[in-house]
Amino acid sequence: QVQLVQSGAEVKKPGASVKVSCKASGYRFTTYYMHFVRQAPGQGLEWMGFINPSDGSTTYAQKFQGRVIMTRDTSTSTVYMEVRSLRSEDTAIYYCARDHHGSSGDYFPFLYWGQGTLVTVST
């Protein structure tokens, strides 16, 4: 079965960087894009972008361009999401998520989710 297992909680100071990992299992890693979604405390879901694990190409939401970098390691089936120049507003739970592609052709977004990684930015 598809599993996405994320790295543990982080506490960072403003201006620092954080790197969240998402290890995939139960399917062929390079076949499906991996997305990242974040959720600030008490707030809604915010899509950040995705990476194509096959070739490492990325697409970021405009808000995060220049400050977020997504990479992958195909040898360990792991995707990484780094946020640079952290500020207090980046305090959030960060999720990796994958779409569903059924054998009968059905497709829909965000069926599979990691457990979330809490990133706290504080002095």
Chain positions contacting another protein, by CB under 8 A: 35, 37, 43-47, 59, 61, 95, 97, 100, 106, 108-111, 113-116
Determine contact, residues 31/100, Cβ cutoff 8 Å. Answer: no
Shortest distance (Å) from residue 56 CB to another protein: 18
Closest-CA residue to 19 (of 66, 68, 64, 54): 68
Instruction: Answer for the pair 97, 112: CB distance below 8 angstroms, yes or no.
Output: yes
Nearer to another protein, 80 or 113 (CB): 113
- Smallest gap from Cβ 2 to another protein, in A, equals 13
Between 44 and 75, CB nearer to another protein: 44
Return the bridge partners of 1, or none: none
* CA–CA dist 69, 106 (Å, integer): 30
- Which is closer to another protein, CB of 47 or CB of 80? 47
Q: How far is the CB of 108 from another protein (least distance, A)?
A: 3
